[in-house]
């Protein structure tokens, strides 16, 4: 089996009161595990794809590197595995969240005018994503920051994305990520997310992305 469910870098209760422990447990052990299991089932039939690595596997979505027979499975479950592995790392306990580095703040100010305006655009991308999906902050091909959203388990690494970029921050807006605590109040969940952003990890992701690299998950 080429892929395993990664351990969280904190306890299930660590993000309280903004993300509840029950949601984190189910999200990690049930939803994320399901993506890993399905991905491994597909990869068992095409073991040569394992040499790509998870990030490159996602970059190959929508290209002829992925056999048509498993293209949808890789897109959905390979995307789901990478997205969640990335998502867990950009969150931390509220007491440990700091802020953007000098370099990242300068890039945010250049692209959006201010950190508040970046958050406004990010929140809007997350709130307006119809149905299930993700919101992203990432580095575009020209080196500037951008905000986008993707449906289902797509991500900006994939060639099928409307806006390709290297992610530095992500928010899961599938209902299973927030419904136990926030029910249909997605904007409230989005607002609460900023209290648990792991800026140290986001800063590291930004540094990697500026160099053209995808941070390891």
* CATH number reported for the structural domain that contains residue 78 in this entry: 3.55.40.20
Q: Is residue 37 part of a domain?
A: yes
Gap between the Cα atoms of 134 and 129, Å rounded: 7
Q: Is residue 7 part of a domain?
A: no
Task: Strand 166-172: give its sheet, edge to edge.
Answer: 145-151, 133-139, 166-172
pLDDT at 47: 86
* Residues of each annotated binding site: 27, 84, 172, 176
pLDDT at 50: 82
Q: Is residue 186 part of a domain?
A: yes
Q: Is residue 6 part of a domain?
A: no
Q: Which pair of structure tokens corresponds to residue 97?
A: 């969240």
Q: Is residue 72 part of a domain?
A: yes
Q: Which domain holds residue 142?
A: 20-217
* Residues of each annotated binding site for Mn(2+): 27, 84, 172, 176
Q: Is residue 1 part of a domain?
A: no
Using alpha carbons, select from 42, 38, 8 the residue that is nearest to residue 26.
8
Please list, in sequence order, all residues whose beta carbon lies within 8 angstroms of the beta carbon of residue 63, skipping any fewer than 6 positions away: 159
Structural domain total, the chain? 1
Give average pLDDT by consecutive 10-residue segment, the chain, 217 residues.
Answer: 91 98 98 97 89 94 94 97 98 92 98 98 98 98 98 98 97 98 98 98 98 96
Q: Is residue 47 part of a domain?
A: yes
Q: How many residues does the chain have?
A: 217
Full-prediction pTM beyond 0.95? yes
Gap between the Cα atoms of 210 and 205, Å rounded: 9
């Amino acid at each position: 089996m080429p892929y395993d469910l990664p351990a969280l870098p904190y306890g299930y209760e660590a993000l309280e009161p903004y993300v509840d422990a029950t949601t984190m447990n189910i999200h990690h052990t049930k939803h994320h595990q399901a993506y890993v299991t399905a991905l491994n089932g597909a990869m068992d039939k095409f073991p040569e794809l394992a040499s790509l690595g998870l990030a490159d596997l996602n970059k190959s979505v929508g290209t002829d590197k992925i056999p048509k027979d498993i293209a949808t499975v890789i897109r959905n479950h390979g995307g789901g595995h990478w997205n969640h592995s990335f998502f867990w790392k950009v969150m931390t306990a509220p007491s440990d969240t700091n802020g953007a580095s000098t370099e990242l703040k300068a890039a945010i100010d250049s692209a959006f005018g201010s950190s508040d305006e970046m958050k406004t655009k990010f929140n809007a991308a997350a709130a307006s994503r119809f149905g299930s999906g993700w919101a992203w902050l990432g580095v575009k091909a020209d080196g500037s920051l951008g905000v986008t959203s993707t449906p289902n388990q797509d991500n900006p690494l994939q060639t099928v994305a409307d806006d390709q970029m290297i992610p530095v921050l992500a928010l899961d807006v599938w209902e299973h990520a927030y419904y136990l605590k926030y029910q249909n109040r997605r904007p409230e969940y989005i607002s609460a997310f900023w209290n648990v952003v792991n800026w140290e990890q986001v800063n590291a992701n930004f540094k990697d992305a500026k160099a053209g690299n995808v941070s390891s998950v």
